[in-house]
Structure 1
């Protein structure tokens, strides 16, 4: 029996490790991994053709799972790949991998986040925008 094929990459964000990201142990602070992931998601969303938020529908982070696989040192360049693993009615699950930009076999972190689109006035979930559906399904 063969393993299912991994989902196709939606987007790969590239970013530099900043000096300010380091902690007292001279590696990237664990909380900064979440900042890298947030930036990768925002870069992807900026590339989504069509509207993906308005005054009645915007994304919020509902859940986050982060596996720390290896410490990130400075200086360095990262490649952060995003994958859609679930497309729901009101939510989207994005898997992620943070790797070294020059050596993609060096895995720093993996995991997933769940983003829910909601009405900011009512706080209730709303249907995913069609632009998000198209962008996530087209990968």
Structure 2
């Protein structure tokens, strides 16, 4: 029996692949995959500005990973899909799917990151701010 909830779509964005993203072997460097995940995560966070609930908590990443499924070459454009995984008191696991826009049926990579909200005064974990919970509860 699987107790993990089915990930629900949170956000999607497209990003260009650049010549400078490639390594000496001619494929996109592994660090670029993490940058794609990061860019999508930051864009999602920016959809929930602090003024919505006046909660100053910010996000830190306590774990991240990537499974590289297919070679990726530039130029081109990728789509990063952000999915909601497990939600805790102060944490959210985001799951990522990376695909080329010109081959949307081919999954290039999957990944995840565990986000933890931290209060700036204490530096300790704090409950997920309401502005994010509202979005998560509408899924």
Deviation at 1:56, TM superposition (A): 4.4
Provide Cα deviations, 1:52-71, integer angstroms capped at 9, x if missing partner: 89784110001012101012
DSSP-derived class of the 1:36 partner: helix
Instruction: Check conservation: 1:57, 1:120, Cα contact below 8 A.
Output: yes
Change beyond 3 A, Cα 1:55–1:96: same
The answer to whether the 8 A contact 2:58-2:118 is kept is yes
Q: What corresponds to 2:104 in structure 1?
A: 104
53-62 or 13-22, larger mean C-alpha shift: 53-62
Partner of residue 75, structure 2: 75
Q: C-alpha separation between the residues in 1 aligned to 2:34 and 2:108?
A: 12
Aligned partners of 1:132 and 1:10: how far apart in 2? 11
Q: Distance in 2 between matches of 1:38 and 1:11?
A: 13
TM-score, normalization by structure 2: 0.87
Give the total of aligned pairs.
Answer: 137
Separation of aligned partners in 2, 1:51 and 1:93: 24
Native 8 Å contact 2:61 2:114 kept in 1: yes
Shift of 1:48: 2.9
Q: Counterpart in 2 of 1:125?
A: 125
Structure 1: gaps of 5 or more residues: none
1:81-92 maps to which residues of 2 (within 5 A)?
81-92=81-92
What TM-score does the superposition give when structure 1 sets the normalisation length? 0.87
Q: Distance in 1 between matches of 2:46 and 2:53?
A: 11
- For the 8 Å contact 2:5–2:86, the answer to whether it is kept is no
- Separation in 1, partners of 2:133, 2:55: 19
> Are residue 28 (structure 1) and residue 28 (structure 2) matched?
yes
RMSD: 2.4
- Closer, same or farther in 2 for the Cα pair 1:114/1:5, shift >3 Å? closer
* Alignment map for 1:35-54 (pairs within 5 Å): 35-48=35-48, 51=51
